[in-house]
């Protein structure tokens, strides 16, 4: 893929309790190829999972691309397109000199975002958008799989 290659990425994060066990998923579409990725964490927040979905979606790209990334998280979309400029200017602090929450993930997302030409799109969650519904299901399945493994003694306890 070259920078002229166009990729669509659809992302979602889920959390049972906030904090609690959480999952993320991304659906990548390039030409006629589609790929889904997902993961889970035992103790996290919904915002961290939304960020992880975008991070992992962009990290899956092997070279710079033109990306349309669709998320149902205004936190992610506003953060990466608007708020991050001020955070970086103020040394990763928010108004009132308060630290940026999830700064580790924001810094990773920022670095990945710089490597691509990304158009960030928002879609209302749980509104019948086919790809958003698919990544929502996948994020929840990732949580289920993690919890099942932990109940069998094969994974981290939530």
144 is catalytic: no
Angle at which helices 130-151 and 46-59 cross, to 10°: 110
Which residue is catalytic, options 12, 22, 39, 116? 12
The position carrying tokens 């990290």 is 59
46-to-12, 16, 71, 102 alpha-carbon distances in Å: 10, 8, 13, 11
Angle at which helices 103-114 and 46-59 cross, to 10°: 30
32 is catalytic: no
57 is catalytic: no
136 is catalytic: yes
Which residue is catalytic, options 91, 96, 126, 128? 126
21-to-9, 65, 97, 108 alpha-carbon distances in Å: 24, 32, 30, 22
Which residue is catalytic, options 23, 57, 72, 116? 72
126 is catalytic: yes
50 is catalytic: yes
Q: HEC states along 57-91?
A: HHHCCCCCCEEEEEECCHHHHHHHHHHHHHHHHCC
**Residues noted as catalytic:** 12-13, 50, 72, 126, 136
């Amino acid at each position: 893929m070259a920078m002229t290659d166009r990729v669509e990425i659809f992302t979602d994060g889920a959390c049972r309790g906030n904090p609690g066990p959480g999952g993320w998923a991304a659906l990548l579409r390039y030409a006629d190829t589609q790929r889904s990725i997902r993961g889970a964490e035992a103790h996290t927040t919904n915002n961290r999972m939304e960020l992880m979905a975008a991070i992992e979606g962009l990290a899956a790209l092997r070279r710079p691309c033109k990306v349309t990334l669709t998320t149902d998280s205004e936190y992610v979309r506003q953060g990466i397109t608007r708020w991050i400029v001020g955070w970086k200017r103020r040394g990763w602090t928010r108004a009132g000199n308060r630290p940026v929450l999830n700064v580790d993930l924001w810094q990773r997302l920022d670095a990945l975002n710089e490597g691509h030409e990304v158009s960030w799109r928002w879609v209302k969650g749980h509104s019948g958008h086919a790809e958003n519904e698919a990544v929502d299901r996948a994020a929840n399945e990732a949580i289920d799989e993690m919890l099942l493994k932990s109940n069998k003694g094969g994974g981290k306890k939530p």
